[in-house]
A = this chain, B = another copy of it.
């Protein structure tokens, strides 16, 4: 009586996102009448009205809002089941590690080196994604493990190993008066009138209100800093930002950022276990001496070049 099929959830999500039966049907590749029927049947089964049909489209009811959120999560879980099962059936599957582009690449390289040194190490494939997308990739099974940053990323629902703790720096335009400081506080960088904080899109693609410029990628943001339009506060090791027009100034009271290795709980493949072991070994030497690691800007060495 109350077994809902994933097809019905996919249909509902399409309608809830488009708020228009015709467009949703086109997106799904079916005609509009069967879609209307399916949504009606879903409403009848749940005993709940999900959409208020209007002459120019439809709007979600409160219950519809709930189902939209829950259905997305459920569909993610189903997609994850499929992806993970497929990979589990593939004997020489690589481990997929997802991380933000441009962040922690030194640490990532050390992790990959350490893992490659392990005997019988599984190959690791690196998948780069947009800011904040790692959790989603992990949840829907596109990746096995992620590099994430506390407190920035939402770590709820994942097992984690802390890899590295570091302080944060403000990246400001070299020509700006703030660049002359050798240390700053959060208060000093929070509301600089001519350097408003950039705004990132929400999950639905819209932007929050505010004075700052709208950005969608990290390189846009880097460019905006170089142009003197904005500033940002990031972990000290994110050296990708270090353009000639940038200056990094330590922010003394910004919360420390912890780089963590995160993975969905319960899924202990041998390959993942091996990577976690490598990561734990890395953690034991969080601050390598320069002699041990001659690369400049190595994570753990919070030296900020100005």
Interface string of A54-70 (1 = CB under 8 A from B): 00000001110111011
- Which of A82-90, A168-176, A230-238 sits within the interface? A82-90
CB-CB < 8 A to A6: which residues of B?
3-6, 78
Q: Are B85 and A81 within 8 A (Cβ)? A: no
Whether a CB of chain B sits under 8 angstroms from the CB of A24 is: no
- Interface residue total, chain A, C-beta cutoff 8 A: 45
CB-CB < 8 A to A193: which residues of B?
none
Q: How far is the CB of A152 from chain B (nearest CB, A)?
A: 16
Q: Are B77 and A63 within 8 A (Cβ)? A: no
Stoichiometry (number of copies): 2
Q: A66-B88, A157-B156 are in contact. Are A4 and B81 (CB under 8 A)?
A: yes
Q: Are A48 and B156 within 8 A (Cβ)? A: no
Interface residues of A in 33-58 (CB under 8 A from B): 46-50
CB-CB < 8 A to A90: which residues of B?
48
Those 10 A-B pairs whose CB atoms lie nearest each other, nearest first? A48-B89, A157-B157, A70-B81, A63-B89, A74-B77, A66-B88, A77-B77, A67-B85, A63-B88, A74-B78
Task: Offer 6 A-B interface pairs, CB within 8 angstroms, sorted by A.
Answer: A5-B5, A46-B85, A48-B88, A66-B88, A67-B81, A74-B74
Beyond A4-B82, A48-B88, A76-B77, list 19 extra A-B contacts (CB 8 Å).
Answer: A3-B6, A3-B10, A4-B81, A6-B78, A47-B89, A63-B85, A63-B86, A63-B89, A66-B267, A67-B84, A67-B85, A67-B88, A69-B267, A70-B85, A74-B77, A74-B78, A74-B80, A77-B78, A156-B159
